[in-house]
Structures are given as C-alpha cells and as structure tokens.
Structure 1
C-alpha cells in the first residue's frame, strides 16, 4: 500500500505510525494476520482509515471491556472470521492492606508500571478505585507484570490475574466547570481551564505538547467544539461538554469537564 498520497491527511509526527499501519494492511492483503499492541483512539482511527482503503482487509478492535479507550487491533484478510479470535488481553488486579492505597491515582500506577521497563503500548486501560486497581495488559507480558509489580509509589502491593469478566471498570469522573470565553480558540480555552496566561500557553501548544482528540495540535487558533477532548502534557485533559450559547457581550458560555 502506497502512503505517499495520504500523508497530507496526518500530522508529520504520525507518519511513522501511518507507515506501520500501512505495512499491517499490506501483509493482510498477502493473507497474513497481525495482532497489534494497544492503540489509542487516534491510532485506531488512522488504522481504520487505511483498512477502509482496501476491500480485501478487515480489522477488529478489542480493549477488554465495552467502553475501552485503548484497544488492540487484529488486522486480517477479509475472509477470516474474527469474532472468535483471541485478542491476547489479560486483566491484572492490584490490592494492598496499606491504607495509603486509596490515595494512589492513575499516574502513580502508570509510573510504577513503566518503571519496570514496560512499554506503554503493552498496557490498556487502567481503572483505579479506593480499593486498588484493575488494568488491562497484553497477554504476552502479563506474567512478568504480575510477578514484578510489587510496589506503587512506596505502597507495597499484591497482584493477581483475573478473568476479563471480573473487571471492575472505573466510572469516568468529570469535574464540570462553566467558562465565559471570548472565542472557542484552543489557546483561550486551555488557558482558562488551567488558569495560565495566554502567553504561557502558547509555548507548550507550539511545542507539540497539546492534543485535540488524541491528535497533536500546534495551532493555537484552532476552533474547538462540543465533544472535543483536549490534553496538555503535564496538566491532564478535559472535554468540551457543551457550548451553551453567547452572552449579550458576545462571549461564549462553555461547559467543560475536567478528567479526575
């Protein structure tokens, strides 16, 4: 599959993944099957776009639960039945008798997992609760993770492998905030959400540290809309829940949800 004519649709930083996805599709056209690592929603979109360009290839996405954000993909010839194929996803439960466990958050678990030398691509969604954590992991590294994850942010923990149907998925919590903004520009809304000056927000945006719907966005003037998910490296992410209208002074009333 030639990707030269589709590079223009994607950010230059995405071209490397476009090449990988195109190779998976090409191999499927040659009757080979590829089970990928976990992909974020943007990568899933790119892969789907390339698969849709070939009438001989299909793809199945699976993340271990119905609302999964990160998913593995199975890229295969169109004649193969994928519903019964194993997707290589395991569930690891983390628990502890230490009361400090309830103080741990997503970043604590992620940091401890990556500190074991694990690549982010091998890890699916992480579900944190007051009683511990359930996280999805590629089956081929599950035993390693179970045996070696013994501490999370100075809290000693125990781990066990569980069937996927025992996943305790965390409910996504959004802290709703109402804003009154002069426009729907990316830089203006991000600066209001994180209480930073417009000047200070320009640097990380232009440096490629901001994503809109998991796509790197370097244009501070990009117009946002309801449903957009925005992340700023080091600050977290938020979702535009609703553009509620315009005030008499011509300002936009926007409801956003900050991810806990």
Structure 2
C-alpha cells in the first residue's frame, strides 16, 4: 500500500488501515471473499475509502438490522454476488428472573461479555429492553458466549441463541440537557457535558481518550457541529443534538443527548 494513504487518517488508526488494506488487496489480487469483524462507523468509513481506491473491489455492510451502528463487511471482487453471502451475525438473548436485572444498563452487558475474554470486535449493537437484552454477536463467537455467560454485574442470567429475525430493537435513550457555551470548541462543550472545568477537560483530550465521530481527536479547539457524537473514555458518550442561536449575552445555546452508560 502506498504510504500516502496514511496522511488521510489519524496515526492511531494506522493499524486498522493496514488490516483493511490487506483485506482489500486479497479481494483485488487474490480474488478472495473476506469478512470483517464488527466495525464502528469510523472504521467503516476507512474501509469504504480503501475499497473506492480499487476499481475491481466491492463491499457490503450489514449490522443485523437497518439502523445498526456497528456493522460487519464483506469485501470481494467486483464480479462476486454478495447478496447471498451470510454476514455471520446472530442474536444472543439474555434474560433473568433476578430483580437486579431491571437496573442493568448497556455498559453492564458489554462489560460482562468482554469479561469472558471476548474481543469487542465480535460484539455488535446491544439492545437493552425492559425484561431482556438482545446482543448482536459474530456467529463464530456466539456459542462460546452462550455457554459461558451466567452473570451480568450481580444478576444471574440465562442466554439463548436466536436468529436475526427475532431481534428486538430498542432505540437508545438519550438524556437531554441544554446549556450555553462561549464557542463550539470541543473542550468547552465536553466540560459542560461532563461537568468538568476546562482545565480538567483538557487532560483526557490531550491524552488521546476523546473521539469525535469515532475518530481520535487531540485538539481541544476543534469546533463541533450538530450531529457530532463525542465519546471520552471513563466519562461516557453524548451527541450534539442542536445548536441554537445566540443569547443576549452573545453565548451559544446547545442541546446534547447523553447515552446511557
């Protein structure tokens, strides 16, 4: 791969760029059909960019349902017919008679799955309902999780493997809040979103723990726009829902939505 492609991506993304470029090359020159693990939207963008550089390669993304955030991809020569290719995703249904189950959140289920030694790449979107949780899992990993998962946080659970047709989608719940900021700088909005002083907000940003739209962001002065998704390791994730007009004091009113942890 030409080294100039690295100039288009963050240095922290170089490892993934190498992996994705290798898969594209296998499809282009080895006439292979390759399947990725689950990709976040930024990784999907990188893969799409690399595929578009090869006129004889195509890819199809599928996360198990139309609105999926995390998706697997099938990469193949342009003459291959991909619609019949199995994307390799199944549903792990998690239920419990334990009263503690109702208080569990997205992070509890993800933590329990990763605690089994499973890589994040094998886990897709997680749908937490009132009495059940449905997790999209790579087919090659689901039997292991089905057999091994018996507890989430302090609640004892039962699991069942279901086909995609039985997936129960739950839209993410956002806790909305509004406040005013002097500008749309990342550090200012992050500070108010997580109730940090600007000085304390700088520390995780400059340490590489912040991502904007899944891309590492080290610049505190980066200006955000409506629709941007910001995550900060150890603090959570929010979406900038709306940027309103100026107040009488010349400040900008914004509305964010925090994702449940």
TM-score, normalization by structure 1 = 0.98
User: Residues of 2 paired with 1:210 and 1:3: CA distance?
Assistant: 28
- Residue in 1 that maps onto 2:90: 90
Please tell me whether the aligned partners of residues 101 and 130 of structure 1 are also in contact (alpha carbons under 8 angstroms).
no
1:106-185 → structure 2 map (5 Å cutoff): 106-185=106-185
- Residue in 2 that maps onto 1:51: 51
Unaligned residue ranges in structure 1 (runs of 5+)? none
Pairs aligned (count) = 259
Cα deviation, residue 248, structure 1: 2.4
TM-score, normalization by structure 2 = 0.97
1:192-203 → structure 2 map (5 Å cutoff): 192-203=192-203
User: Residues of 1 paired with 2:256 and 2:138: CA distance?
Assistant: 33
Q: Does 1:21 align with 2:20?
A: yes
Please tell me whether the aligned partners of residues 100 and 154 of structure 2 are also in contact (alpha carbons under 8 angstroms).
no
User: Residues of 1 paired with 2:147 and 2:2: CA distance?
Assistant: 42
Q: Deviations over 1:131-170 (max 9, x none)?
A: 0210011101111111111111121111001111111111
- Residue in 2 that maps onto 1:9: 8
SS at match of 2:179: strand
User: Residues of 2 paired with 1:132 and 1:149: CA distance?
Assistant: 14
Please tell me whether the aligned partners of residues 112 and 152 of structure 2 are also in contact (alpha carbons under 8 angstroms).
yes
Cα deviation, residue 130, structure 1: 2.1
Q: Deviations over 1:77-134 (max 9, x none)?
A: 0000111110111111000111111011111111111111101101111111220210
CA RMSD of aligned residues (A): 0.8
Unaligned residue ranges in structure 2 (runs of 5+)? none
Please tell me whether the aligned partners of residues 230 and 238 of structure 1 are also in contact (alpha carbons under 8 angstroms).
yes
Q: Does 1:70 align with 2:70?
A: yes
Q: Deviations over 1:166-186 (max 9, x none)?
A: 111111111121111000000
Please tell me whether the aligned partners of residues 37 and 73 of structure 2 are also in contact (alpha carbons under 8 angstroms).
yes
Q: Does 1:219 align with 2:219?
A: yes
Please tell me whether the aligned partners of residues 186 and 224 of structure 1 are also in contact (alpha carbons under 8 angstroms).
yes
SS at match of 1:184: coil
Q: Deviations over 1:189-234 (max 9, x none)?
A: 0001111000001010000000000001000000000110001111
User: Residues of 2 paired with 1:72 and 1:3: CA distance?
Assistant: 25
User: Residues of 2 paired with 1:104 and 1:243: CA distance?
Assistant: 32
User: Residues of 1 paired with 2:117 and 2:194: CA distance?
Assistant: 32
User: Residues of 2 paired with 1:170 and 1:3: CA distance?
Assistant: 42
SS at match of 1:5: helix
- Residue in 2 that maps onto 1:235: 235
User: Residues of 2 paired with 1:3 and 1:252: CA distance?
Assistant: 43
User: Residues of 2 paired with 1:223 and 1:86: CA distance?
Assistant: 41
SS at match of 2:7: helix
